[in-house]
Structure 1
Amino acid sequence: MVPLKMTEMWATMGSTIASFMFVWAIIRQYCPYELRRFFEKYTHRLMGYFHPYIRISFHEFVGDRLKRSEAYAAVEAYLSANTSKSAKRLKAEMGRDSSKLVLTMDEYERVTDEFQGVKVWWVLSKIMSPTRSMPYYQEQEKRFYKLTFHYKYRDTITGSYLEHVMREGKEIRLKNRQRKLYTNSPGYKWPSYKQTMWSHIVFEHPATFDTLAMEPEKKKEIIEDLLTFSKSKDFYARIGKAWKRGYLLYGPPGTGKSTMIAAMANLLGYDVYDLELTAVKDNTELRKLLIETTCKSIIVIEDIDCSLDLTGQRKKKSEIASDDDLDKVNADLGRKEAKEDGSSSSSSSSSKVTLSGLLNFIDGIWSASGGERLIVFTTNYVEKLDPALIRRGRMDKHIELSYCCFDGFKVLAKNYLKIETHPMFDTIEKLLGQIKITPADVAENLMPKSPMDDAESCLSSLIEALEEVKKVAATTKVEEQKQQRILIKENGEIPGDRDSRSKESQPAIA
């Protein structure tokens, strides 16, 4: 008798649920959207009087769905790292700008998190909303995370916990993001629909400080300086300076300036913005490019002495001896500027970036937008640069990358040949102390050219190259001495003595 009643009860319940689902489907199909929202609104309000829990929603898109919410992205990253282990239904996808596969909770999955003894619940939900721009009120999905907690923990959750989630989520996103190498395009090539002035590719340069051919002491000093900068946000705020630092890398070609930049980016996990000054139209455009750079980035201007003529006018004016000469040079400069203005109107690629504009770009008011940036200049001829451009405060640290030393050679030998010692090392050390050769030339001689090449053959090739450089240097020195002897023989005196004797023979002016 009892089993029969239970069967009838379950049959009645099943029929009731089926009827309810049928009615609900009819309501969703034919009931106007506004009426449904009205009932839901007041149902939630009525439930609020009896429900002791508070809910906070984090929607995926803000405004007109053109911009993804930073808060939603931070919550997604936080939950993927902290609560996805307890979720039973997960979805795997490549995160936006991420280099790793990200596991996140699936729709309507519920997970629990705990903070300072307070338990909270997270649910990934979605709602369907009509798009009025489409016929028949087609519905769109709007995803959002819903946080639920007891009302007595309101202050803890809205204060400390949410701040903790945002901070942790942003750090996780930065750690997992796919780093990029940016470059700027000429202004006249920007399409109207483009949202940024920079184009990019994935940054995949393998250089590190371990593979950099440099003295260990200098390498350690640079690494400590970079790491100290990356952890000094509060220090820069306390002293009232923008959180940025300038590096000037200078030295002969082939000494590893570009490789140093890649090693810096890989050490800190920063993006790289390779700024081509000749493609920048004017100072205003330069400021716009600065504004669009992100935090945790390195802004690079390579071969700054060759990018633009930023110091010529100042140098010419400083060398004028008389007012007449000054007027003449000013007239020549005026004609030159007029000519440049005329040519710029016919050519969209000419640049009007000035030294003043570049200085403001480095440490002016606009440079304080954002934070945690490195500005790196490279040059082969540091003496050509204007002192105002490379003074401390703009280029805070000057790093000279010079010719290959024996310590640098040992790093290259370990990288290319996988050896740390060899009987030929003594000969190479002696030769490197006598000549000047760049790390690029040493690396080229250490690189195997065929499958038959081994460490000994590569080292022999390097010794031959070093001896050839030594021979050329000796020949050049002999030629210079020969030319000097010819001058002495022709003039009967050492060049420079004539001027000194003529000054001594002049009468003193009272």
Structure 2
Amino acid sequence: MAAITMAEMWTTVGSTIASFMFVWTIIRQYCPYEVRQLLEKSMHRLMSFFNPYIHVSIHEFMGTRLNCSEAYAAVEAYLSTNSAKSAKRLKLEMEKDSKKIVLTMDEYEKVTDEFQGAEISWVCANPNPGKWNNSQPERRYYNLTFHKRYREMIAESYLEHVMKKGKEIRVKNRQRKLYTNGARDKYAYPRQPMWSNVPFEHPARFESSKDFYARIGKAWKRGYLLYGPPGTGKSTMIAAMANLLNYDVYDLELTAVKDNTELKKLLIEITGKSIIVIEDIDCSLDLTGHRKKKTEKETEDKNEEENKENNLKDREGKGSSKVTLSGLLNFIDGLWSACGGERIIVFTTNYVEKLDPALIRRGRMDKHIELSYCSFEGFKVLAKNYLLVETHPLFDTIDRLMEETKITPADVAEALMRKSPTEDVEKSLSKLIQALGEVKKEAATKKEEEESRVKHQPQ
């Protein structure tokens, strides 16, 4: 009897559902749009009344992809500690020098968390996976679900707990990275990120005054100009700064930036605790103090042809950069430069006299640091590092030669580099003396040629 009653019950339920679906189909086809909207809203309110759960979304990007959400990154780091215990589908991430493997939840995987007696569920979602023709980027998000009785506790305590723990985990697992902006075709690859990166593994470090520089490394934004001949250690200096402060490095290639708008977008996407490097600034675009002068006739003759070429290049995504000096100045200390902190901007150049004074004035570039030719004191540091010696009979000869000629630290290091394990200290120092003699001879030859050229010039 019970079995018959159960069968009848399921038959009744099935008939009711079928009738409802039939009626709903008729309503959707023949009812006016306004009536359908009213019915759908009423149904949604009815379902919401009986549904006791609240949903909160944390999206990866804020606004129109102008900035990556810090909240999303903190949630991702926080959930990585729980994912390995409960999730069934995981993503594995491991970076060099990391203490352990990091497992994060895969898309549409669900994990649960407990906080002050409340059970909370998290789901990682991606609303548009695999849409390669979509000009918009993937907008991943985390969905937080909890019972409405815990609303106050979630809003006031749990979310703050997640943000705090997530940031601590990010700092703990953080690895320095080297970023660069490459030539980018936004039509062929609309979702290609503005910056690409690799792990930053340069060995150069500061070994003295560590506490002093760590004390300076607070929330700041400063500019440094490193100038001097090639081979004097400008790039090595930047690497040492990054390793000391534990900052990422963004190598900005201005010639790959299409215009000032793209430069602004790059600035927005740069994270805090970063060093922004523009090497050989004197060779980047038209940023020198020597302005190009053209007559009106030359401009009119070439105007139409240049416009056609520029339009064609823009359509192909291969146009020349249109970044202006004004755009770069705004990048350094304009209004948009205030959108983030803890950044250091470093320019390097071999010819500081060629730069526009507005670009390197005091206040914009806070420090002008000259990295010049190697001195005898600098040589002794290199000799200690490369040869493990602090004194030698040949040091007097090297001191005298260095006073008479100019040689870069890179050339000194190359001469001191042992070619084989059996090469002794005296042989390495002799190679340096020979190199100094050759440099001195070349300098004397150039001086004679210059004097001869000036002497034979017509008066």
TM-score > 0.5 by shorter chain = yes
Which amino acid letter does the alignment assign opposite residue 197 of structure 2?
Answer: H
Given that 1:184 and 1:198 are in contact with CA atoms closer than 8 Å, whether structure 2 keeps it comes out as yes
Given the alignment of the two structures, is residue 294 of structure 1 paired with residue 271 of structure 2, yes or no? yes
- Quote the offset at 1:75 in angstroms: 5.4
Residue aligning to 2:12: none
Alignment partner for residue 374 of structure 1, among 324, 330, 344? 344
Once structures 1 and 2 are overlaid, which stretch shifts more, 465-474 or 358-367?
A: 465-474
Residue aligning to 2:310: 344
Alignment partner for residue 250 of structure 1, among 204, 214, 227? 227
Residue aligning to 1:198: 195
Given the alignment of the two structures, is residue 463 of structure 1 paired with residue 429 of structure 2, yes or no? no
Distance 1:346 1:191, change over 3 A: closer
Distance 1:330 1:102, change over 3 A: same
Given that 2:205 and 2:239 are in contact with CA atoms closer than 8 Å, whether structure 1 keeps it comes out as yes
Residue aligning to 1:213: none
Given that 1:183 and 1:199 are in contact with CA atoms closer than 8 Å, whether structure 2 keeps it comes out as yes
Residue aligning to 1:310: 287
Given that 2:242 and 2:248 are in contact with CA atoms closer than 8 Å, whether structure 1 keeps it comes out as yes
Q: Please tell me the root mean square deviation across aligned C-alpha atoms, in Å.
A: 4.8
- Quote the offset at 1:462 in angstroms: 0.9
Secondary structure of the residue aligned to 1:378 is strand
Aligned counterparts, 1:116-131, within 5 A: 120=116
Q: Equivalents in 2 of 1:62, 1:184: separation in Å?
A: 21
Residue aligning to 2:335: 365
Secondary structure of the residue aligned to 1:208 is coil
Distance 1:111 1:454, change over 3 A: farther
- Quote the offset at 1:202 in angstroms: 2.3
Q: Residue deviations 1:220-277, cap 9 Å, x none? A: 69x956852x31x3xxxxxxxxx52211111111111122222222222222222222
Which amino acid letter does the alignment assign opposite residue 263 of structure 1?
Answer: A
Which amino acid letter does the alignment assign opposite residue 284 of structure 2?
Answer: S
Residue aligning to 2:13: none
Q: Equivalents in 1 of 2:200, 2:162: separation in Å?
A: 29
Given that 1:413 and 1:420 are in contact with CA atoms closer than 8 Å, whether structure 2 keeps it comes out as yes
Q: Give me the TM-score of the superposition, normalised by structure 2.
A: 0.67
Aligned counterparts, 1:300-449, within 5 A: 300-311=277-288, 314=291, 316=293, 329-333=295-299, 335=301, 340-347=306-313, 348-449=318-419
Q: Residue deviations 1:133-192, cap 9 Å, x none? A: 9xxxxxxxx9988999x99xx78x865785465245324313423332222233436634
- Quote the offset at 1:398 in angstroms: 1.1
Secondary structure of the residue aligned to 2:222 is strand
Secondary structure of the residue aligned to 2:373 is coil
Distance 1:344 1:397, change over 3 A: same
- Quote the offset at 1:381 in angstroms: 0.6
Residue aligning to 1:323: none
Given that 2:91 and 2:104 are in contact with CA atoms closer than 8 Å, whether structure 1 keeps it comes out as no
Alignment partner for residue 276 of structure 1, among 237, 253, 263? 253
Q: Residue deviations 1:439-485, cap 9 Å, x none? A: 1111111112234323332122112111222233345445656677x
Residue aligning to 2:182: 185
Distance 1:309 1:108, change over 3 A: closer
Q: Equivalents in 2 of 1:254, 1:444: separation in Å?
A: 11
Distance 1:410 1:283, change over 3 A: same
Given that 1:124 and 1:144 are in contact with CA atoms closer than 8 Å, whether structure 2 keeps it comes out as no
Residue aligning to 2:74: 74
Which amino acid letter does the alignment assign opposite residue 207 of structure 1?
Answer: A
Secondary structure of the residue aligned to 1:411 is helix
Secondary structure of the residue aligned to 1:448 is coil
Given the alignment of the two structures, is residue 172 of structure 1 paired with residue 169 of structure 2, yes or no? yes
Distance 1:128 1:385, change over 3 A: closer
Which amino acid letter does the alignment assign opposite residue 427 of structure 1?
Answer: T
Residue aligning to 1:17: none
Q: What are structure 2's unaligned runs of at least 5 residues?
A: 1-16, 18-45, 130-140
Aligned counterparts, 1:103-142, within 5 A: 120=116
Which amino acid letter does the alignment assign opposite residue 301 of structure 1?
Answer: I
Secondary structure of the residue aligned to 2:406 is coil
Given that 1:282 and 1:352 are in contact with CA atoms closer than 8 Å, whether structure 2 keeps it comes out as yes
Secondary structure of the residue aligned to 2:399 is helix
Q: Equivalents in 2 of 1:124, 1:455: separation in Å?
A: 67
Secondary structure of the residue aligned to 2:185 is helix
Aligned counterparts, 1:157-168, within 5 A: 163=160, 166-168=163-165
Distance 1:122 1:396, change over 3 A: farther
Secondary structure of the residue aligned to 1:209 is coil
Q: Report how many residues are paired.
A: 389
- Quote the offset at 1:199 in angstroms: 2.4
Distance 1:171 1:375, change over 3 A: farther
Secondary structure of the residue aligned to 2:295 is helix
- Quote the offset at 1:411 in angstroms: 2.9
Secondary structure of the residue aligned to 1:188 is coil
Distance 1:368 1:403, change over 3 A: same
Q: Equivalents in 2 of 1:128, 1:444: separation in Å?
A: 53
Which amino acid letter does the alignment assign opposite residue 407 of structure 2?
Answer: I
Which amino acid letter does the alignment assign opposite residue 196 of structure 2?
Answer: S
Q: Residue deviations 1:70-126, cap 9 Å, x none? A: 547535646878x99xx99999985477852247899989889xxxxxxx4687856
Larger radius of gyration: 1
Distance 1:43 1:395, change over 3 A: closer
Given that 1:299 and 1:373 are in contact with CA atoms closer than 8 Å, whether structure 2 keeps it comes out as yes
Q: Equivalents in 1 of 2:186, 2:48: separation in Å?
A: 51
Which amino acid letter does the alignment assign opposite residue 177 of structure 1?
Answer: R
Q: Equivalents in 1 of 2:157, 2:124: separation in Å?
A: 32
Identity %: 60
